[in-house]
Chain A
Amino acid sequence: MDQTTARPETQHQSVTFAEGLTLDCGRHLGSLTIAYRTYGTLNPAKSNAILICHALTGDQYVAETNPETGKPGWWEQVVGPGRPVDTEKFFVICTNVLGGCMGTTGPRSQHDEHAGQPWGTDFPPVTINDMVRAQKRFIDHLEIGRLFAVVGGSMGGMQVLAWAALYPARVFAAVPVAAAAYHSAQNIAFHEIGRQAIAADPDFWAGRYWEHGVTPERGLAVARMTAHITYVSEAALTRKFGRKLQDTAQISALGDRFEVESYLQYQGSSFVRRFDANSYLTITRAMDLFDLSADYGGVLPSAFAGTKTRFLLVSFDSDWLFPTEQSRAIARALNHVAANVSFVEIKSDKGHDAFLLDEPDFHRTLRGFLAGCAEHAGLS
Chain B
Amino acid sequence: MSGSKKMRVDLALIAGMVAPKTRVLDIGCSDGALIDHLFRNLGCDARGLEIDMATVTLAVAHGLPVMQGDADTDLASYPDAAFDYVVLSRTLQAVEKPREVLRQMLRIGTHAIVSFPNFGHWTLRLQLLFTGRMPMTKNWSRMWYETPNIHPCTIRDFFDLCAADGYIVEEWLAADEAGARAPWRRWPALANLFGEQGLFLLRKA
Contacts and interface: CB of A to CB of B under 8 A. Distances in A.
Interface of A: 310, 312-313, 331-333, 335-338, 340-347, 361, 364-365, 367-369, 371-373, 375
Contacts of B64: 342, 372
Contact of B57 (A310, A364, A373, A375): A364
Interface residues of B, number: 22
Contacts of B53: 344-345, 347
A336 B62 CA distance: 25
Interface string B161-173: 0000000000000
Interface stretch (B76-84, B135-143, B149-157, B178-186): B76-84
B2 to A, nearest CB: 12
Interface string B42-81: 0001010000010011001111111111000010011100
A331 B67 CA distance: 8
Contacts of A367: 61
B69 A368 contact: no
Given A310-B65, A344-B68, A345-B68, A365 B79 contact: no
B77 A364 contact: no
A336 B65 contact: no
A158 to B, nearest CB: 20
Nearest to A364: B61
Contact of A343 (B63, B67, B78): B67
Nearest 7 Cβ contacts at the A-B interface: A372-B63, A368-B61, A343-B67, A338-B82, A332-B77, A335-B77, A364-B61
A347 B82 CA distance: 31
Contacts of B63: 368-369, 371-373, 375
B177 to A, nearest CB: 32
A344 B79 contact: no
A172 to B, nearest CB: 13
A43 B205 CA distance: 52
Nearest to A336: B77
Residue of B56, B64, B65, B74 contacting most chain A CB atoms (<10 Å): B65
Contact of B65 (A337, A340, A347): A340
Contacts of A343: 56, 67-69
**What does DSSP make chain B's interface, helix, strand, loop or mixed?**
mixed
A347 B67 CA distance: 15
Nearest to A347: B53
A343 B59 CA distance: 11
Given A310-B65, A342-B66, A342-B67, A335 B60 contact: no
A191 B77 CA distance: 33
Given A335-B77, A344-B68, 4 more contacts: A313-B67, A346-B57, A368-B60, A372-B65
A337 B57 contact: no
A369 B61 CA distance: 6
Contacts of A372: 62-65
A167 to B, nearest CB: 21
Given A336-B78, A338-B78, A368 B45 contact: no
Contacts of A373: 63
A337 B61 contact: no
Contacts of A332: 74, 77
B57 to A, nearest CB: 5
A113 B134 CA distance: 84
A343 B68 CA distance: 6
A373 B61 CA distance: 11
Interface string B68-110: 1100001001110011000000000000000000000000000
Given A336-B78, A338-B82, A344 B60 contact: yes
Contacts of B57: 344, 346, 361, 364-365
Nearest to A331: B67
B66 to A, nearest CB: 6
